[in-house]
Structure 1
């Protein structure tokens, strides 16, 4: 006999956005919430593995993100206080690139608009301040002292444990959803690959690479693409310890766009490339680090040019970006009661605490908060 589970709210995908939303709903005292994940978070099948993510405030992707980033930092700090866990490392973040780079200009514009502290300097001054760099005066830097590093897998684990303690929330893992149906009674029914069905009045679907294929049978076309990305940890000298070296973003007109982290907890110096990558279909296996000829080469070129105290490769890893055409988020309600959230890869995790709050409020009230207004699907069909 097929098992059918009924709830008021169904969250499909217990990754960063799904668990953040469930955690908010649990803290708000909401009940009858079912959360599903095909795996068991934290895991490496989504976009939250790799130990660390940057949180930046003077936002280079657009000043419209700044209020969301500020709220997110407040909520990360709240989560630290509530759990007693170390979730945020206040390293600061240095944004580097030619003065003409649009990203650098936008960082400076965001800081001016929101009166954010930003220490502006040229590359020579940056090298004097942080001797782990090797920069000349062709580079411009903007240092955000309030920014830093989030411990992503630790955060996911905190959310999972908090949700598990909530009487109003049920997390079910190992549930791969194969179909969502909009029923004649207005509810939504999600069918699992093992025959189980989950029925709810309102649904949040945030399933990463599987989001577009899952919703296509409902006539909802989501312009999301999947890209294989790589990052790696390297041996490094003491110039790259967190108290002596910041997190960073780096734009090089020849080599591309990169991000990185100091050596936190002895893991090694971490660096990855933000642009480029190899396109993948949903569900297509990702080749391991080193299988593509550029995996190590592109990281090594940046290290050799700018980071003289970084040494041999310690280990590499692969991840995936799920992107929209304009690389901004996709959050909308394409059918009444069905909220979709995707396209976060590359810069989404830092906002998860605030987005979970906003998505949770939307699920409860049926009204989207103004902070999400710019992420709708309509902008991508113009």
Structure 2
């Protein structure tokens, strides 16, 4: 059987692209080593933050705004909520490049960014213990996305339009034969006119088979849920991101009594994706509590549960969205560096347009691999 497009990696990015392509009438195969949704990639779990005034740079704002439109569209299509508007607080020293980018992008795109002093933040959210020289940038219309609900929704929609989801099949080889893409797993050989690689932490290894070496480093990351009092419950406390001298931390309010969720965005131990690194341990909790002691709740939290995940990091922490330089029938979206989930709906749309050789709705030229060459 010949597919119009094979999508390699049926996580959030791949499933979003597969849905968009199937909706347009293409014959699509979604391949994954596991059965989505699963816990073996980077985009698993309950929640992901979505914000629009972007500290990582203005180039992301149109992508975030289009993603917001598509998340609302997804909610209507599956008749389930995938987005909760809790508000997002970004905080750090006024001189922080991250905070300055938030303010700059908010102004450039006329976004709802409320600038707050440390005293104003403490008055509004009594759990905060931020230093007096910190400022806050609060986006009331931002919040969090329900990750598993989104993946299941896209899988349902893709299948309803005829896409085939083949889980539990790890790819062994990728070859080009007679201008077609041939993908072999232990069980089957699949052939397609186009290939989209959205295999997350494994994407670099797969494309290396075709002579393309990408600057991606997989790192071990940790996050945890901590027992919290009523001050930190959803409705009383926002999602947050802090740029501090201790590092960059992010988190979520206590949602449905699951606890305050927090993780560290920067640093991380290099690992191979099949290894996943050391399991969550006491030292990971100590790192989070050092931040909390200084900035939130005075550190008065007890661990409820800790987990590990993977980031696929590029040197500049920006994404890689491009075509293979020798095989234009192959394209990829990789290296999301721990901040890609919120954009998945829009990136799926872009990938579908690229695969169909159409002009993309959004400009993703800044994410090309040529910036590293």
**TM-score normalised by structure 1 residue count:** 0.94
The CA deviation string for residues 138-163 of structure 1, in whole angstroms up to 9 with x for no partner, is: 11100011111001111111111222
Q: Would you say 1:15 and 2:8 are equivalent positions? A: no
* Superposition pairs of residues 59-208 of structure 1, within 5 angstroms: 59-167=54-162, 169-183=163-177, 185-194=178-187, 196-208=188-200
Residue in 1 that maps onto 2:284: 295
8 A Cα contact 1:60 1:106, kept in partner: yes
Deviation for aligned residue 1:332 = 0.6
Deviation for aligned residue 1:189 = 0.5
Deviation for aligned residue 1:67 = 0.5
Runs of 5+ unmatched residues, structure 2: none
SS in 2 for 1:365: coil
Q: 1:283 aligns with which of 274, 284, 297?
A: 274
SS in 1 for 2:7: strand
Q: Would you say 1:219 and 2:208 are equivalent positions? A: no
Cα RMSD, aligned residues only: 1.4
Aligned equivalents of 2:314 and 2:110: distance in 1?
A: 30
8 A Cα contact 2:276 2:309, kept in partner: no
Residue in 2 that maps onto 1:260: 251
Aligned equivalents of 1:175 and 1:187: distance in 2?
A: 20
SS in 1 for 2:263: strand
Shift of the 117–285 alpha-carbon distance from structure 1 to 2, 3 Å rule, reads closer
Q: 1:270 aligns with which of 261, 265, 272?
A: 261
8 A Cα contact 2:318 2:337, kept in partner: no
Deviation for aligned residue 1:231 = 0.1
Q: 2:47 aligns with which of 49, 52, 59?
A: 52
Residue in 2 that maps onto 1:318: 308
Q: Would you say 1:338 and 2:327 are equivalent positions? A: no
SS in 2 for 1:222: coil
* Superposition pairs of residues 21-36 of structure 1, within 5 angstroms: 21-28=17-24, 30-36=25-31
Runs of 5+ unmatched residues, structure 1: none
Aligned equivalents of 2:40 and 2:342: distance in 1?
A: 19
8 A Cα contact 1:320 1:345, kept in partner: no
**TM-score normalised by structure 2 residue count:** 0.96
Aligned equivalents of 1:27 and 1:95: distance in 2?
A: 37
SS in 2 for 1:72: helix
Aligned equivalents of 1:233 and 1:130: distance in 2?
A: 19
8 A Cα contact 2:63 2:362, kept in partner: no
